[in-house]
Structure 1
Amino acid sequence: MPQSPVQSPVQSTSVLALRITLSLAVVAACFSTAPTCSAGQLHAGAAVIDISPTQMPVLVNGGMMSRTVDEIRTTVNARAIVVTDQDDTVAIVVVDSCMVPKEILDEAKQRAARDTDIPADHIMVSATHTHTAPSAFGALGTDADATYVPLLRRKIVDAIVAAKANLQPAKVGWGSADAPDFTALRRWVRRPDRIDVDPFGNRSVRANMHAGAKPENVTGESGPEDPELSVIAFQSTAGKPIAVLCNFSMHYFGDQPISADYFGLFSEGIAKYADAQSNLSSDQSGCVGIMSHGCSGDIWKRDYVTWTGKDDLDINGFTQGLLAVAQTAYDQIQYRDNADIAMAESRLPLRYRVPDAQRLHWAQEIAATIENDLPTTREQVYAREQILLHQMQKTDVVVQAIKIGDIAIATTPNETYALTGLKLKLQSPFKHTMVIELANGAEGYIPPPEQHPLGGYNTWAARSAGLEPQAEPKIVAASLRLLEKISQQPRKTFQQQIGPAAQQLLSNKPLAYYRLDQMQSSFAIDSSGHHNHGIYEPDVLFFLPGPPTDAQKRSFVGSRSGSPGDFPANDQSQNENHSPAQMQPNRCVHFAGGRVRTQLPSLGNSYTVILSFWNGMPSDARPTTGWLFSRDHNHSVTDRGQHLGLGGSTDGDDTATGKLIFKQGDGVAVGKTVIPRWTWNQVKLVRTNTRVKVFLNNASQPEINILLSSDQTAPLPTCFIGGRSDNDSNWEGRIDEVAIYSN
């Protein structure tokens, strides 16, 4: 519910001063030789400080153009936790802001370090990314509000000071649950014949936010979701809640400024729930709830897979639903009081994607038309951004890792894709890992490198997305190094477990077996043991969900995968030590124009190919919907080549539309069954010398059964997955679990 426009700070100056004095005395006693405060005993304190603007109107960022408001719908806050084990102390602050630049945060950390003796590199400050908060960061058409920034900087310091003043002996615990109904991919891949125009006048937009609103224009989501809602809870040794730090990957809901968006509503709700579960009276309650921002650069609330054109939940309904999931996770938390604390920081030099001479000249001409340095069109916004990037050239970003017992917090200073968060969680050496984005800086979007060629808003060079294309893997690598440092353990290697169908495929001794489960790679790893690794060409996207258990459910993140073929990736249902993030569905790749290319010189004229596929193209969009598998010379089609695909429509002829096709030479054989778009299927191509049979979904009768002429049987070593040898009508959609056998 909306709060009153202006609330007084959590405590008055005089009360705060008294409380700080008393609390510091308690802490000093604990750090003495008193037997009740032994070394290693965890202490935690938390506080909430109102950071609402006191001078109106105020600039609000989060949009393309500049805007000011003069009303406070809900307060915005800085919520802080200080944790210590006597040897190390760390401060964690989450601020209701769209983004806060590194320079402001560095200044706040230095001031807090002077006031609390907490080292500046042991302070983490992140933004919730509400798009309805006062502007602290200049991006796109909005500048930072010069009047508000000093207040924000001071209030961040106040929050850390107040949290440290509230230190007390504590226990900590971890909880986690999936909330797939509250997060979804907002970045979708556009059809190759529906490419859009970028702000620079180039037809380059192959993927973009919210393109899924028009299914006829897209081939599928561009990456995975991360539905995990994770919880780190702190209690006093007597069981009184101190703080509950939550994390979830959902960009923002949307509200009227000034507002903390769902982050603020959730924070208040989880705090009230924690207090209520401890049966505290109103005068005893005081838990600090915090919702931090997970990796959601390509995430939003709306699931375009099932969207009917109308959203079912308002901001309160969304928050209450998410709180119900969090409460379930909270209720299962088990606490410990001897968690050791550690923190490490790295400052990583990176370059901006600065304009070349031609783009800079274009930008200068456009910028000359801007009146009062206030752009009013998208073209003017991005022209000004090119000039600013040219002036900036390079930066260094702050990456941190925090250890609280067997719990880790990893950070990125960016709007990070869900895939990046999964990379960190699944490779972290810790039992439990939370990833907080927009921490210690505001460096905008960092798409994984394979996303850059597809273009779209998240990649357009600006302060909101300006870092070099290799920024994402560099930041992931830096974060993993820090996690290794504070854990003194090596990172984990993520590998899909082998389910029943995968075991069956392997038991038949394939020449090559491509599970296509990489999070990032140049190579399609051959799991057969024969080392026939393939090469991923550009325009292939990684780690999307593979075949689902429920054939009716396409948004199957968090579920175990199954039919067709039953490929459970990490079937860990009997292992209570794994969080939802570690219980991954089967993974696959999405082809958006690229292919997997491999050399199999020992593959003769008798062979079998089995693969699972999911078509993203309307089957009447082009003469061939897409090619799944091909053997021929690269960049050409010869009479000896063999090509398996899905038929399309030519000049009104729908004979092959949506059906399997097999081509060699001038002949094309057509299957019997129309295969619906956006459904998982399995195909088996069996060639025995000159006989070719193609089976669909384990049917006993073939879709295609033809005899090839004898002069077309010479083997070819090069094989292509997800496209034809000449790059004609390459596959648009997902492919998984490709096994190739020499018969």
Structure 2
Amino acid sequence: MHLTISHSRIGDTLQTVIALIALSMGTISSCLADEILIGGATVSVTPDQPVALWGQMSTRISAGVESPVTATVLALESRRDGQSTEQSIMVACDLVAIPDEVLLKTRQRVTELVPEFPVAKIFLSATHTHTGPVMNEGIYAIPPTGVMQPTEYVHFFAERVAAAIVSAWTKRKPGKVGWGLGHAVVAQNRRAVFDDGTAAMYGRTTENKFRMFEGYEDHGVEVLCCWDADDKLIATAINLACPAQEVEGRSFVNADLWHDVREKLRAEHGSDLHVLAWTGAAGDQSPHLMFRKAAEERMMKLRGLDRLKELSRRLVAAWKEAYDGAKLEKLSDVPLIHQRDIVELPRREVTGREWELAKAKLADLSKQTGMQTLLWWHGGVVRRYEQQQAGTAKPYTMELHTIRLGDIAIATNPFELYTDFGIQMKARSPALQTFVIQLAGPGTYLPSQRAVEGGGYSAIAESNEVGPEGGQILVEKTLAAFQKLWATAK
């Protein structure tokens, strides 16, 4: 069964969980070297009232729930001679991004429930569904009544996710892990390049001036599987280099393509299967069709599918391809190492021309109504330029989590990271298989150099806190962390 926590039951649930975790910490007997213990939990983070939906430039208030949004926890621990040697807590969330405040509040709540819990080993990541709740104040013009405010939702979310983390940790038991690789065409590079060298997100490919797509696509589907001691599949993580934003413009809460994937896998492997959706480096990717639309739509119609079901069909087929290999190599005694580093990256410099253009936009928008989100967006460029000029601009500080689990490597970043950077990490990694998880933080695009040269949304100053130079530094620091993991485990 999934962990589902109601307001009326949360106090009793947490008291029970705290008692169980205290018991588990003191009674696990001596076990084999590097034995892996696994726990999982899935909790609904679907708001119980209307909310503003995050991801577009205009305010949308939810008119209902088309599919629940969830947070899924995977808790791992390694033990040697009965002693805990490492812990790692991974939480995948149906959200646009993970604001710093959300991670902080979740960790604080876990600490309140279980003092001395290793909260630095907790990371949260987002699927980037554009039909999940807003979590930041001040970006959207949200009605003051009849709608759950962002601050209220953050509290709601942190309470539930913290309880799920503690539950997953409490339930951890000896198990086995395995990994595999499948392939699915879900992502399409969404930046069209034209004959004058300019680029545009979702640019019209039917125009005569269209020449190419700007970058590569990564159709690999990296899969991690976890079984209990009786070989029952209890959790799986699916790493796809594509955001979950096929239905991004709707005014309903919706987990996008991942809901149907979860339902299909649970129908085959049990309703209590925990499915973590990890979004890979995909700042320039989207599931939206960029060309061959008529042929694609005809095939979906002939098969009786809508776009979400078509995408989930491909993903489930890729998962099965990976699972067929992974289940042949189930391992119970693999190394687990979780590193957390604080990394500073140079901020993208705002030019004088960009500052002037942003100020002109602000002057024009301030004369109109309903422009709060765009005012906030362009206003950020003005503030950053003024900080540069005053000498008060600070580097972008982020958490970098790198994990070795057997032969696989996992790395996080807080950005909508262009796929070029993720491919570098995978190609140069010492691991057999590498999982790159973006949006383990507050977001903002991190573009390639060719994207900045082409311009357009996602590659302009308004879209970027960090530019290509910082992206390459992130790649090198991630790879250095991987090398350290492999050196440590030798």
TM-score (norm 1): 0.57
> In the alignment, what sits opposite 1:328?
321
Q: Which residue of 1 aligns with 2:128?
A: 129
The match for 2:348 is 353
Describe the SS at the equivalent of 1:246.
strand
**Separation (CA, whole Å) in 2 of partners of 1:272 and 1:9:** 25
Q: Which amino acid aligns with 2:77?
A: T
Q: Is the 8 A contact 1:407 1:430 kept in 2?
A: yes
The 3 A distance-change label for structure 1 pair 331 and 486 is: same
Displacement of 1:212: 4.9
Deviation per CA, 1:96-128: give whole Å up to 9, x if none. 101122232133234424544442331111011
The unaligned stretches of length 5 or more in structure 1 are 1-6, 196-205, 276-284, 491-743
Structure 1 residues 12 and 266: alpha-carbon distance in aligned structure 2, compared to 1, 3 A threshold: farther
Contact 2:21 2:170 in 1 (8 A): yes
Summarize the Cα distance change of 1:385–1:66 in structure 2 as closer, same or farther, 3 Å threshold: farther
**Mapped partners of 2:167, 2:473: distance in 1:** 35
Structure 1 residue 356 displacement after superposition: 4.4
Map residues 450-529 of structure 1 onto 2, 5 A cutoff: 450-462=450-462, 464-488=463-487
Partner of 1:94: 92
The structure-2 alpha-carbon separation of the partners of 1:93 and 1:289, relative to structure 1 and needing over 3 Å to count, comes to same
Q: Where does the alignment leave 5 or more consecutive residues of structure 2 unmatched?
A: 79-83, 143-148, 301-305, 388-392
Structure with the larger RCO, 1 or 2 (CA within 8 Å, 6+ apart): 2
TM-score where L is the length of structure 2: 0.84
| Structure 1 equivalent of residue 179 of structure 2 | 174
Q: How does 1:328-407 map to 2 (within 5 A)?
A: 328-333=321-326, 334-353=329-348, 355-356=350-351, 359-360=354-355, 363-364=358-359, 366-367=361-362, 370=365, 375-376=370-371, 380=375, 382-390=377-385, 393-394=393-394, 395-407=396-408
**Aligned in 2, Cα 1:103/1:23: closer, same or farther, shift over 3 Å?**
closer
Range that drifts further, 129-138 or 356-365: 356-365
1:246, 1:292 within 8 Å by CA — same for their partners in 2?
A: yes
Residue in structure 2 matching 1:286, options 272, 283, 307: 272
Cα 1:373–1:409 change in 2 (3 A) is: farther
Amino acid at match of 1:259: N
Cα distance in 1 for partners of 2:138, 2:314 equals 32
Q: Which residue of 1 aligns with 2:257?
A: 262
CA drift at 1:142:
6.9
Please tell me the residue identity of whatever aligns with 1:63.
Answer: Q
How large is the RMSD of aligned CA atoms in angstroms?
3.0
Q: Tell me if 1:188 matches 2:192.
A: yes
Residue in 2 that maps onto 1:207: 199
Is contact 1:244-1:270 (8 Å) kept?
A: no
Question: How many residues are paired up?
Answer: 455
Deviations 1:138-186 (A, max 9, x none): 6976788232122223333222112111111110000111113x22211
Amino acid at match of 1:59: A
Q: Which residue of structure 1 aligns with residue 170 of structure 2?
A: 165
The equivalent of 1:28 in structure 2 is 26
| Deviation digits for residues 550-573 of structure 1 (CA, Å, limit 9, x no counterpart) | xxxxxxxxxxxxxxxxxxxxxxxx
State the partner residue of 1:67.
60
1:443 CA displacement: 3.3
Residue 40 (1) aligns with residue 38 (2): no
Equivalent residue runs for 1:410-489 within 5 Å: 410-439=411-440, 441-462=441-462, 464-488=463-487
Match of 2:146 in 1: none
| 8 Å CA contact 2:5, 2:43 repeated in 1 | no
Give me the whole-angstrom Cα distance separating, in 1, the residues matched to 2:287 and 2:154. 30
Among candidates 102, 106, 109, match of residue 107 of structure 2: 109
Question: Quick one: structure 1 residues 42 and 11, their matched pair in 2 at CA, closer, same or farther if it must change by over 3 Å?
Answer: farther
Identical aligned residues as a percent: 24
Displacement of 1:267: 2.8
Q: Is 1:304 the counterpart of 2:290 in the alignment?
A: yes
> Aligned-pair distance for 1:76?
1.1
Shift of 1:8: 5.4
Amino acid corresponding to residue 384 of structure 1 in structure 2: G
User: Per-residue CA shift, 1:449-481, capped at 9, x if unaligned?
Assistant: 23211111111222x422233121011111111
The CA distance in 2 between the partners of 1:90 and 1:119, in whole Å, is 9
Q: Which has the higher helix share?
A: 2
Partner AA of 2:165 in structure 1: I
What is the aligned partner in structure 1 of residue 81 from structure 2? none
